[in-house]
């Protein structure tokens, strides 16, 4: 009797496991339009039947799904269109705010397990999408970690998880860095921020060109990789300007690279474009270290001096100014109060901001998108995600955000707030496709968002597999 029911259960569990795992490993194929690079060739669009019968619709979706699965896993000729093009499309994956949490002495085991699983859940999204889409760029939109109030050793431990579990990258580089930066007796990571600060101030007060903000045609940071990996600073990684210290900037720069830089591509051709990475947390004060603000604006000044004539993708963490209600986060700026007893030296400093002020937004956009070429702004911070258009008006020199483009504006700039890749927001991957239009001789940019599912679905794929295995093993010994 028991055997009979157990067998039924095992069969049911097996079917469930197979279904959940098929879903987990092929989820982008259910929504190939949003989970693929945008195809700028209108002739190949195969739209869903409008007004067809239920059977026709089902037939269409099943066919679309299975074709996509076959294409992704067994067909190498996925990029037929690309081969005929003179200029390759740009394929950028943007991942919003992973915010990985830490594990402390007093963290309960269930939370530890949750944090552990979450790393692999995020890693699953990255691996699935990378394998499917072979991006040219991968940009993580800041807030890599969940808190800026952590010691260096914890900052390193999370970096290690970020490198190893989330992005499956080689850990030898950061281990080498740890080898050079650790406490005397213990093997715990600690940064020498004095040295970094000396160097920083030498550059700031001396030859500012030594900041070396600019790169050219960098397609990858290492020979073993065929894509460019970009880390952005978020408020949880380095703090808002009222919090950011040399220690914060030193450890970020040491493990994640520069917080401000640009890469220009194909400047000698008719299709130049650039990626601008900006630490916009340091644009406004009052700051704890006012020289950081000076440094941020120096970066923008040098950027302008490039007289760049191409298209620009700007990637930064905090969204730009817009009227309340266009996106989810309300407009909010906080300062430390006058009598802030915990840290009196922070009184009146910028404590938090969830958007850049209006005047600074106008200034920054003028500096970066002043050449009038089509571009796009990618930001994080507001986990819900959002898309708006900035309309540039020359008459009063302002950039006005709206949901739909305003016809009387001279120039339109799209800002995408990339919806978070965290489980609560369904594990999204943002896809930026860039295409050089040979007729207009301009780049065209298109953004789509590919969601996965809440982390419980990923957990279920593992748990059901274990239960199934247990059920069949029990049956075998009964």
Binding site for ligand NAG (CB under 6 A): 151, 153-154, 157, 159, 162-163, 169, 173-174, 188, 221, 229, 231, 255-257, 305-307
Of residues 171 and 334, the one with the C-beta less far from ligand NAG: 171
Of residues 200 and 321, the one with the C-beta less far from ligand NAG: 200
Contact 312, 375 (CB under 8 A): yes
Of residues 149 and 345, the one with the C-beta less far from ligand NAG: 149
CB of 385 to ligand NAG, least distance (A): 23
Of residues 147 and 203, the one with the C-beta less far from ligand NAG: 147
CB of 215 to ligand NAG, least distance (A): 10
For residue 327, give every residue at least 6 positions away whose Cβ sits within 8 Å of its Cβ, in sequence order, or none: 319, 382, 384, 386, 388, 417
Task: Output the CA–CA distances (angstroms, integers) from residue 62 to 26, 29, 58, 337, in the order listed.
Answer: 13, 10, 6, 59
CB of 172 to ligand NAG, least distance (A): 10
CB of 459 to ligand NAG, least distance (A): 25
Spell out the long-range contacts of 208-213 with Cβ–Cβ below 8 A and sequence spacing 24 or more: 208/298, 208/302, 209/302, 211/260, 211/295, 211/298, 211/299, 211/302, 213/258, 213/260, 213/261, 213/262, 213/299, 213/302, 213/303
Of residues 28 and 310, the one with the C-beta less far from ligand NAG: 310
Of residues 46 and 107, the one with the C-beta less far from ligand NAG: 107
| DSSP bridge pairs for 314 | 276, 377
Residue number, nearest CB to ligand NAG: 257
Burial class (CB in 10 A: 0-12, 13-18, 19+), 282: buried
What single-letter DSSP state applies at residue 43? G
C-alpha span between 257 and 174 (Å, rounded): 11
C-alpha span between 132 and 61 (Å, rounded): 19
Of residues 101 and 346, the one with the C-beta less far from ligand NAG: 101
Supply 268's token pair: 């000698």
CB of 32 to ligand NAG, least distance (A): 30
Of residues 65 and 120, the one with the C-beta less far from ligand NAG: 120
CB of 157 to ligand NAG, least distance (A): 4
Of residues 233 and 417, the one with the C-beta less far from ligand NAG: 233
Please give the full DSSP string across 211-266, using - where no structure is assigned. G--EEES---SSTT-SSEEEE---HHHH--TTT--HHHHHHHHHHH--SSEEEEE-
Task: Output the CA–CA distances (angstroms, integers) from residue 438 to 40, 172, 255, 442, in the order listed.
Answer: 12, 43, 40, 7
Of residues 13 and 163, the one with the C-beta less far from ligand NAG: 163
| DSSP bridge pairs for 223 | none
Q: Residue written as tokens 């708006």?
A: 388
CB of 253 to ligand NAG, least distance (A): 9
Q: Residue written as tokens 């630490």?
A: 279
Supply 26's token pair: 């092929």
CB of 142 to ligand NAG, least distance (A): 12
CB of 462 to ligand NAG, least distance (A): 24
CB of 161 to ligand NAG, least distance (A): 10
What single-letter DSSP state applies at residue 320? P
Of residues 190 and 401, the one with the C-beta less far from ligand NAG: 190
CB of 254 to ligand NAG, least distance (A): 9
CB of 220 to ligand NAG, least distance (A): 10
Please give the full DSSP string across 367-378, using - where no structure is assigned. HHHTT---EEEE
Of residues 229 and 240, the one with the C-beta less far from ligand NAG: 229
| DSSP bridge pairs for 189 | 182
| DSSP bridge pairs for 145 | 100
Contact 99, 143 (CB under 8 A): yes
Q: Residue written as tokens 């911070």?
A: 381
Contact 247, 254 (CB under 8 A): no
């Amino acid at each position: 009797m028991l055997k009979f029911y157990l067998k039924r259960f095992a069969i049911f569990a097996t079917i469930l496991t197979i279904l959940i795992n098929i879903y987990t490993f092929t989820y982008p194929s259910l929504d190939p339009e949003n989970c693929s690079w945008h195809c700028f060739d209108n002739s190949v669009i195969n739209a869903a039947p409008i007004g067809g019968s239920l059977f026709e619709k089902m037939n269409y979706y099943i066919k679309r799904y299975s074709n996509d699965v076959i294409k992704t896993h067994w067909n190498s000729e996925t990029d037929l269109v690309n081969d005929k093009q003179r200029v390759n499309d740009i394929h950028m994956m943007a991942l919003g705010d992973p915010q990985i949490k830490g594990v402390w002495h007093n963290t309960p085991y269930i939370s530890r397990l949750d944090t552990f699983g979450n790393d692999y859940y995020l890693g699953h999204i990255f691996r699935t999408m990378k394998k499917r889409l072979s991006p040219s760029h991968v940009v993580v939109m800041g807030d890599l970690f969940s808190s800026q109030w952590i010691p260096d050793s914890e900052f390193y431990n999370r970096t290690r998880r970020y490198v190893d579990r989330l992005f499956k990258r080689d850990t030898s580089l950061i281990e080498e860095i740890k080898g050079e930066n650790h406490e005397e007796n213990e093997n715990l990571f600690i940064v020498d921020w004095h040295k970094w600060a000396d160097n920083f101030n030498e550059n700031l007060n001396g030859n500012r060109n030594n900041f070396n903000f600019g790169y050219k045609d960098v397609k990858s940071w290492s020979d073993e990789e065929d894509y460019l990996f970009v880390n952005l600073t978020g408020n949880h990684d380095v703090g808002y300007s009222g919090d950011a210290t040399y220690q914060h900037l030193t450890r970020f720069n040491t493990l994640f690279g520069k917080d401000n830089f640009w890469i220009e591509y194909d400047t000698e051709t008719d299709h130049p474009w650039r990626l601008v990475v900006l630490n916009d947390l340091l644009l406004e004060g009052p700051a704890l270290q006012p020289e950081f603000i000076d440094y941020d604006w120096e970066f923008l000044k040098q950027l302008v001096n490039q007289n760049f004539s191409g298209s620009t993708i700007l990637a930064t963490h905090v969204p730009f100014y817009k009227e309340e209600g266009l996106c989810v986060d309300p407009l909010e700026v906080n300062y430390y109060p006058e009598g802030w007893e915990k840290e009196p030296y922070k009184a009146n400093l910028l404590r938090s901001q969830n958007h850049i002020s209006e005047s600074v937004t106008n200034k920054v956009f003028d500096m970066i998108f002043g050449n009038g070429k089509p571009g796009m702004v990618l930001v994080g911070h507001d986990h819900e995600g959002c898309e708006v258009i900035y309309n540039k008006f020359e008459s009063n020199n302002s950039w006005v955000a709206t949901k739909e483009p305003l016809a009387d504006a001279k120039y339109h700039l799209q800002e995408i707030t990339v919806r978070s890749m965290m489980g609560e927001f369904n594990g999204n991957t943002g896809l930026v496709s860039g295409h050089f239009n040979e007729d207009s001789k301009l780049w065209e940019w298109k953004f789509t968002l590919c969601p996965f599912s809440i982390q419980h679905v990923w957990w279920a794929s593992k748990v059901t597999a274990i239960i199934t295995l247990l059920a069949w093993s029990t049956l075998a010994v009964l």
